[in-house]
Amino acid sequence: MRALLIGFLLLALCPGGATAVTPAADSDAYHERGRAIYNFRCYYCHGYSGDARTLSATFLEPPPRDFTALHDDPPSRSRMLAVVRDGIPGTGMAGFGNLLSEAEIGAVVDFVRREFIIAKRPNTRYHTAANGWPDHERYRAAYPFATGALALDTPDERLDAPARRGKRLFLTSCISCHDRARVDDEGPLWDTSAVSFPRKNTCCNVPPPDSLSGASVYARHDIPPRLAAATPQQRRGEALYQANCAFCHAADGTGRNWIGSFLEPHPRDLTDPAFMACLTPERLTRVIEDGLPGTTMPAWRHVLSGEQIAAIVAYVDRAFHPLARRHAENTLLSDGPVPSSNHAHGKWKRGTPPERD
């Protein structure tokens, strides 16, 4: 009798058996198990309602699957099991085979098929009392911006009074999770900013904060020098340096900011008199153009134009330390022919010694 019972169990559990059964997708307990897994693992990209209307979906290409849009010919259950287990190469869909058991994968797949594809139900909402939102309706004025019905960068003069209130509400409350929602002008894809981290420090043998550094001993190096009566070329170089070079060399040119402190070898301290006494504008131009092998200094010749590099050189000379005369490089830093000051990428204009107001 025991052997017969075991035989029946093996036959029922074996996928290849003639009488293999599908898990009880119509069981409430089984369905709720799938819901719990989905709401923990899948909602971030696919959304609580399975429609992929999430912030993360706006950054993914191709976008996550909208399960609610599947009607007549949805993927087979076996295909969905494989996708959840193994992921889809070239997309944001990761494999969960190392995180979920086969039973859990089956439960979440059956939940998606029943809840979204077949029944078109909304599952649940994030802004519920259980999630800490007892009166979410008080944010209703901001809904058009959260859902994308109104672009966040719509000028205030084109909005009526309720919409302006909703925009202010969104910017002071909702934006922390919804980010910018929808905008008409996407702006730059990636905009870097040279910032020292972390506050209060977390490692390394560094001195304690002082009244100038505030919460971080690196903060002082994120403050660029203020130049008096800079030339137009130096102003262009200032903008280019602070947007590109300060990330490693620090806004004040010392290389002692948070990022620079962890690079090996450390970025060059452009305020060091001993080094700067040997650095000519021609040498600095070559280093910016070609980089330095064996360091984190990249080549910029395909990123910046000759005129832009010349402007950075002029800014470094003015803001941090006067660059050397040509003979210093020939005697101390010689590594080949030195180009003339009328460089192929634009004449370098020597600045006056640093003046700071």
Q: CA-to-CA distance for 143 and 130, rounded, in angstroms?
A: 20
pLDDT (mean) for 101-108: 95
pLDDT at 153: 92
pLDDT (mean) for 210-220: 61
pLDDT (mean) for 149-160: 93
- pLDDT level of residue 5 (50, 70, 90 thresholds): very low
Average pLDDT of the chain is 79
Q: CATH second-level architecture of 20-118?
A: Orthogonal Bundle (1.10)
Is it the case that residue 12 has pLDDT exceeding 50? no
Where, residue-wise, is CATH 1.10.760.10 in the chain? 20-118, 194-357
pLDDT at 294: 83
211/20: higher pLDDT: 211
- Please return the burial class of 102, using the count of CB atoms within 10 Å of its CB with bins 0-12, 13-18 and 19+: exposed
Is it the case that residue 194 has pLDDT exceeding 70? no
Superfamily designation of domain 194-357: Cytochrome c-like domain (1.10.760.10)
Least confident of 1-5, 98-102, 269-273, 291-295: 1-5
The type of residue at 48 is Y
pLDDT (mean) for 151-175: 92
- pLDDT level of residue 215 (50, 70, 90 thresholds): low
- Please return the burial class of 141, using the count of CB atoms within 10 Å of its CB with bins 0-12, 13-18 and 19+: middle
Count other Cβ atoms within 10 Å, centred on residue 315.
28
Q: Most confidently modeled of 43-52, 192-201, 346-355?
A: 43-52
